[in-house]
Structure 1
Amino acid sequence: MIVEVPFRPLAVDQSDVRYAHGPDSARQPGVPVGRTVEFDWNDSVVYPGTSRKFWVHLPAQYDPSCPAALMVFQDGRWYLDPDGEVRAAIVLDNLVHRGDIPVTVGVFVDPGVHAGAGEPRCRNVEYDAFDDRYATFLLTEIIPQVTDRYSITQNSNGWGICGGSSGGNCAFTAAWLRPDTFRRVICCLSSFVQMPDGNPYPELIRSVPRKPLRIFMQAGHRDLRWNERERNWLASNLHVAAALAEAGYDFRLVLGDGGHSPNHGGVLLPDALRWLWRPMDPGGADARG
């Protein structure tokens, strides 16, 4: 089926661009509002001495007798903000209501903080690392708090993870190292260049057997250091996308204008979730959990 895309003129100035949110990012008449529950987590074993909040968003259609899909969002407070750029709870409510995605419980996790430390925020330590600590943290500390209270599918095809900037490479790393649990990934403006030993993924993706991942990427023409040889956010994302293409992954890259801002990725979230949860191609199993 051919899809006709409406004409839109390209912005001449690629740096100072803002995308308008679509209707799926706003409360709509007749769409029931889900329930968001706040939790504190101060007992981390993986990241000792840290404290953080996380939130669980239950769409109105959530039924304990029917296990729901699960989507984890990094930088939880920012992604939940109904007046922010992402508005993820609103998006989940709209898409679940229409049946565009399965009933999906959103888990929104803030980075940890160390009380009284010189650099209290642990965001870069947690998100930019290339190891399985953060995935282990989610799977052994945060997600059990969710599955103990709510009915979540155990089918890994029903689990996804999302983030932007350092949260984007964090989401990619969690899925890369634990594809047995996280199968669907959204990563926007990922800060691969900030990983301590550099971006390992272009070489890794090409050198190991393809993993059962479906990946949605967003990158910006004017992301940080976009025209410089070293630590180029744009080029690093393009290198990862090229490797995914060469390795035959089910992935999609959307390249927009503007700088290192969550605006474009937030505007794209409804379409990214629809793409992420679409059925498999003809002849394959349904992608939904």
Structure 2
Amino acid sequence: MPADVPYRPLPLRPDVRYAHGPDSSRQADVPVGETVELVLTDSAAYPGTSRRVWVHVPAHDDDAPPAGLLVVNDGWLYLDPDGEVRGGIVLDNLVHRGDIPFTIGVFVDPGVVVGAEHPKNRNVEYDAFDDRYVTFLLDEIVPMVTARYAVTDDPERWVVCGGSSGGDAAFTAAWMRPDRFRRAVCFLSSFTQMPGGNPYPNLLPRTDRKPLRIFLQAGHRDLNWNAPTRNWLAENLRVAAALAEAGYDFRLVLGDGGHSPNHGGVLLPDALRWALVRSGAAAAPT
């Protein structure tokens, strides 16, 4: 049976801001999980960089099964409880209610090049079309987590998430290593600024389908939304069309906002439910 969707008037203004739902706010009956901050002072993949990493573990019973893994780019931006995304709050609410299986969040800041005139290493890490970043996650970040917590080996429960350049980094991580990450949540992805151009519209239909589930969000007023080149909206739509042509399990949500984490943050609870729970079945409470 089709599901009825409540009527909502279509916004007519270009400066839309979406209101957060209850899943993105602290609830009185939901215990607050534990957040641990870690510091990585160097990197084999990106020598000379340092970065901060936050591991958020929702409250759970002592006999909880091994956790799923949610790795999030632009760590603090997505974890900040007063920000637009509020990843830790979302995990606490969804896990407590059994909407998703018990899942640990790993929020990874982009690297900073120590002592450099231009220290930010974000675009080097996120926009590249290669396996360097996902290898960094798997070889340097994930072991920091698994040394402390029991994490499932099931790639169906490993999600990589990000927005803007972090969105195309999430897509590329899953594309390069579907043996580990089979879920990707990508908000306002900056496919247009990948060196050498966006490879996915041509690559997806010509490559054997990989076992991925992809959630995309795009904005009608994203960067250069009405320009003939370097158009963030157009490139996200081209990737979505290629996913459809190639037969992928994906979902595209269009909003009326610009290049802001607001809409993606509002959508994060639904994106995680869609990515992690099949056929609408609820996970067992922890």
Fold-level similarity (TM above 0.5): yes
2:263 maps to what in 1? 264
Q: State how far apart, in whole Å, the 1-side matches of 2:138 and 2:122 are.
A: 18
* Structure 1 residue ranges (4+ consecutive) displaced by more than 2 angstroms after TM superposition: 62-65
Counterpart Cα distance in 1 of 2:176 and 2:48: 25
Correspondence list, 1:193-232, <5 A: 193-232=192-231
**C-alpha RMSD of matched pairs (Å):** 1.4
Q: Give, as a single letter, the amino acid of the residue that structure 1 aligns with 2:248.
A: Y
2: CA distance between counterparts of 1:171 and 1:151? 23
Corresponding residue for residue 87 of structure 1: 86
| Deviation of the 1:280 alpha carbon | 5.3
Residues 129, 38 of structure 1: CA spacing in aligned structure 2 closer, same or farther, 3 A cutoff? same
- Give the equivalent residue in structure 1 for 2:111: 112
8 Å Cα contact 1:62/1:103 also seen in 2: no
Cα deviation 1:171-202 (Å, max 9, x = unaligned) = 00000000000000100000001101000001
Deviations 1:52-98 (A, max 9, x none): 00010001016466211000000001001001000010000000011
Q: 1:152 to 1:177 in 2, by over 3 A?
A: same
SS state at 1:273 partner: helix
Partner of 2:11: 11
Once the 2 structures are TM-superposed, how far is the Cα of residue 116 of structure 1 from its aligned partner? 1.8
Whether contact under 8 Å (2:156, 2:276) holds in the other structure is no
Partner deviation per Cα, 1:226-264 (whole Å, 9 max, x = no partner): 111111000000000000001110000000001101000
How far is the alpha carbon of 1:279 from its aligned partner?
Answer: 1.6
1:120 CA drift (Å): 0.4
Distance of 1:113 and 1:83 partners within structure 2: 24
Tell me whether 1:27 sits opposite 2:42 in the alignment: no
* Aligned partner of residue 84 in structure 2, secondary structure: coil
Q: Kindly indicate whether the alpha-carbon contact (under 8 Å) linking 2:184 and 2:215 is maintained by their aligned counterparts in 1.
A: yes
* Alpha-carbon distance between aligned partners in 1 of 2:115 and 2:41, rounded to the nearest angstrom: 15
Structure 2 residue matching 1:90: 3-state secondary structure: helix
- Mapping of 1:1-150 within 5 angstroms? 1-13=1-13, 15-61=14-60, 63=62, 66-150=65-149
Contact 2:23-2:90 at 8 Å conserved across structures:
yes
Q: Deviations over 1:85-126 (max 9, x none)?
A: 000100000000110000000000000001221110100000
Query: How much has 1:7 moved relative to structure 2?
Result: 1.3
Counterparts of 1:121-200 in structure 2, within 5 Å, are 121-200=120-199
Higher alpha-carbon deviation: 123-132 or 3-12: 3-12
> Which residue identity lines up with residue 157 of structure 2 in the other structure?
G
Instruction: Describe the shift of the 1:68–1:234 C-alpha distance in structure 2 as closer, same or farther (beyond 3 A).
Output: same
Q: Is contact 2:159-2:184 (8 Å) kept? A: yes
Contact 1:64 1:150 in 2 (8 A): no
Q: 1: CA distance between counterparts of 2:132 and 2:89?
A: 30
* Aligned residues of 1:62 and 1:68 also touching (Cα < 8 A): no
> 2:117 is matched by which residue type in structure 1?
G
Q: Give the residue type in structure 2 aligned to 1:269.
A: L
CA distance in 2, matches of 1:79, 1:71: 12
Q: Partners of 1:185 and 1:63 in 2: how far apart?
A: 29
Counterpart Cα distance in 1 of 2:124 and 2:149: 30
Q: Which amino acid in the other structure matches residue 33 of structure 2?
A: G
TM-score where L is the length of structure 1: 0.95
User: For 1:248, what is the secondary structure of its paired residue?
Assistant: coil
Where structure 2 has 5 or more consecutive residues not aligned to the other structure, the ranges are: none
Give the AA of the match of 1:8.
Answer: R
CA distance in 2, matches of 1:33, 1:147: 21
TM-score, structure 2 as length reference: 0.96
2-side partners of 1:115 and 1:75: how far apart? 18
